[in-house]
Amino acid sequence: MMEKVRHTVEDIFNKDFKKTAIQGYNPKDVDSYLDELMADYQTYENNIQELETTIEKQKLEIAELTKRANANVNHSTASVIAPAANSNMDILKRLSNLERRVFGTPAEVAQNQSGNEAQ
């Protein structure tokens, strides 16, 4: 990010203006203004460093939260699949019991079928 900055605080501080025979700007005014610019630059540099540090912390936090979320999804999926499998087995058992009550045991069904054929 700092690659696009043309001047650093040190560059501004060390800048020398050429003296001319004609009186130009008041050197004290220029120095005062450059001091203000350096303070602003330093503030910007500090803000950028803080933001970059915050970004790195948030990347780590995102990675940790993603890891936890994936673990929770895997755990939730397993806990949903297991009851569904148990539920299906329970339904099959109930259905089998109901068939036995309605139709009897396989031996009784065979006996009833052979009895029906004899009539």
Q: What type of residue sits at position 51?
A: L
Distance CA 65, CA 63 (A): 6
Per residue in 23-70, pLDDT tens? 777 788 888 888 888 888 889 889 999 999 999 999 999 999 998 888
pTM above 0.85, yes or no: no
For residue 86, what pLDDT band results from cuts at 50, 70 and 90? low
CB atoms within 10 A of CB 48: 13
* DSSP states along 4-28: G----HHHHHH--PPP-SS--S-HH
pLDDT of residue 93: 83
For the chain, the maximum distance between any two Cα atoms, rounded to a whole number of angstroms, is 137
